[in-house]
Chain A
Amino acid sequence: DAKTTQPPSMDCAEGRAANLPCNHSTISGNEYVYWYRQIHSQGPQYIIHGLKNNETNEMASLIITEDRKSSTLILPHATLRDTAVYYCIVRNTNAGKSTFGDGTTLTVKP
């Protein structure tokens, strides 16, 4: 699996958009980008995933660059409950193990 790099921490004001970057410069053509988040003491929660195109669901939007070497998770209107560790991972077509890095700790402030 391709390695991902994320900033260790970010702050965001409540009600503003939170933009979380992820670099995956060694991603291969058949690997998907996935985002999960982990709120304290809970198991990671799926947010969104994509291959090439930008994606949007009820939780977030995922913007993938044209060269697929980086992506950005956007939480359009962050709330205090969005405070969590956000993990960006890549998964290849055999759907086997994925390597989770240390993620980004997002703190949403009032």
Chain B
Amino acid sequence: GAGVSQSPSNKVTEKGKDVELRCDPISGHTALYWYRQSLGQGLEFLIYFQGNSAPDKSGLPSDRFSAERTGGSVSTLTIQRTQQEDSAVYLCASSYPAVRYGYTFGSGTRLTVV
């Protein structure tokens, strides 16, 4: 597609429920990143996928968070047993693998846990 697509754009969920957030990267971008941005804060790295390599999960805040990337394209970020502190905008970005290429970000999913 023309850009990075994320769905849903907004999600309200009850505390304790599981949620899945989806990211469709730009075609041909083998690198995919998830970031989180809490209200008024900067971007917090969560996880990075590159091709068939093992993902860099070093930013996942707890074992309630997981992500997968199927077929080297679409990625799903799953949050189990959501807590109020999980409320944030979840941003996905993709890029070509070389460092000379920048990220292209999606518009994000705004997650609100009530």
A-side residues, CB < 8 A to B, are 30-32, 34, 36, 42-46, 49, 51, 87, 91-103
What is the distance, in angstroms, from B13's C-beta to the closest C-beta of chain A? 20
- Using Cβ atoms and an 8 Å threshold, which residues of chain A touch B59? 97
Interface residue from A46, A51, A95, A99 paired with B31 (Cβ < 8 Å): A95
A95 and B95 in contact (CB under 8 A), knowing A44-B43, A100-B43, A101-B42?
yes
B42 touches A32 (CB 8 A): no
- Using Cβ atoms and an 8 Å threshold, which residues of chain A touch B44? 100
Closest to A93 in B: B99
What is the distance, in angstroms, from A7's C-beta to the closest C-beta of chain B? 14
- By secondary structure, the B interface counts as loop
Instruction: For the complex, give the distance between the alpha carbons of A42 and B45 in Å.
Output: 17
What is the distance, in angstroms, from B14's C-beta to the closest C-beta of chain A? 24
Size bracket, chain B contacts: 20 to 34
B48 touches A97 (CB 8 A): yes
What is the distance, in angstroms, from B21's C-beta to the closest C-beta of chain A? 14
B72 interfacial by beta-carbon distance below 8 Å: no
Closest to A42 in B: B107
